[in-house]
Structure 1
Amino acid sequence: MKRLLLAAAATFALAGLSTADTAPAAPKTNLLANVKAGEPMRMVYELDARAMILIIPATGRASFDVELKPNTYTIKSKVRTTGLADVFVNYNMELASSGFVRAKELKTSGYVSQNRDGKKNRRVELSMKKDGFTMTANPRFGDLGDPAATQEQAILANDPLTALITFALEPRAKGADPCGGPIRVFDGKQLTYLHLENKGTANVKSPAWSGQAIECHVTMDKIAGYKAGEVNKDTLTGIDGPLRMYLAPLENGSHVPVRIVADTDRIGKVTLQARTLRFEPLQTASAQAGAGGAP
């Protein structure tokens, strides 16, 4: 799950960073509230990863296709990495999640993860309801951690895809910390809380977005589902210092990570940068039928 979060989120070479005393202007709209009000939306989001192993470049990419309807959502994702030791491994993952749209958040109902790493090629299927969850894994996990996540703990979290996207889309209240959080993540086995600390603003340039971004430092709280002795460690394995995440405060009320930077203890700096980020109206079957029947 750790590697998925890096490749995704919360799965970039820094240029011209400078801090500022003032935060970006507060957004005027709430994307999720607009979706609930009957404006379906698609979000297309891609992240590229770059690192150097000695003199050999290593790369990765995570793509997300998010469909938001007034009551439900779906997220489809592909994550491919090459040679990013410890932080990333060589694997090819396909993931999907679905659930319910609320005015201020998304909530998981189902999650499927298929990893084709050439070793275990594990498939995980997670189903979440108000009172608990069920999970199947093939091949099965050797154990579910010490301690294992409880039903009560898990249902307060979201799957990794939903956790990342709802973190980006959920509205920040006026005067609230724009970094938001904590991000509560459950992948069927590991339960993790990511805590974010606001470090001001920085100028960020990426292929998908450029401007004054919000700088957040991320630390990890391993709640359950890990090996004995790992619970409550507040660091990301293989990361030297905090993970640095830069959020683009968009006019639609979302705060999307457009750059993520980690200093690793094995291969130096790893940077993720937003390659694609766009929002577009989603044409639903009912909307198309209505348009076809119009005079």
Structure 2
Amino acid sequence: MKIAESDLIINPNGSIYHLNLLPEDIAGHVITVGDPDRVGDVSKYFDRIEYKKGKREFITHTGYIGKKRVTVISTGIGTDNIDIVFNELDALVNIDFATREVKKTLTSLNIIRVGTSGAVQADIPMGTILASSHGLGMDALMNYYISNPSVEERDLLTTVQSHFGHLKNINPYLTAADDSLLNTIGKDLPKGITITAPGFYAPQGRMVRASNSIPNFIGLINSFSTNQYRITNLEMETAGIYALAKVLGHKALSINAILASRVKFEFSKEPQKIVDQAIRLVLERI
């Protein structure tokens, strides 16, 4: 069954619509970063850069670390951009652009997010490199997709919904990290549930001038725990990455550079140093 031209837009040069990439441009290991300027902060550690491409906020470098081919791509901020990036990455490896048909043999990418985040627990210091065991989405992205959560994911989400059930118009979703990536790239790192918010200010409990509809949101977040899990940090992409990766058959892990303490009202004086540590850790473990 051919995919309609209006559903999968291919540029005149044969590249995918937003990312401006050709199918051969993508490596099996993909690092995502939010900030387009951070792409170069990753690729400067490559032994060889094969090419650099870009369009809008989506900047891509593909190259080699030793014999390992790696792609780093910027997503911009938010799960609306994750929707674009992940569907187009999947199309690049799993759809034949000539026939517009899904390939008989599907490719599963290893996708690692290297991003910044704020801790919501007092015992997580700034400078921590944290791996997300789960992504808990407070945005609306997965209202538009059919997913198949595991028993463990469903049970944990039920506990989450009970804790946050009094909040109106929020339908959270939850997806676990890929076990193989969590146990290799994420090995020996602190772990916890990462909340993905649909904004930076009130949706993350910040207040500048506009009044928040959810009082003490950070207190509500950090008071959640089960026998095994607690919510550790807050950002804007992880839940969408985990959920769409699972729907599309890819492996995903989110590595978080903790730059802020939301309970101590502090922000790092050396954010770039912490981000660089996270980048180097991921590249070494890839």
More helix by share: 2
| TM-score, scaled to structure 1 | 0.28
More strand by share: 1
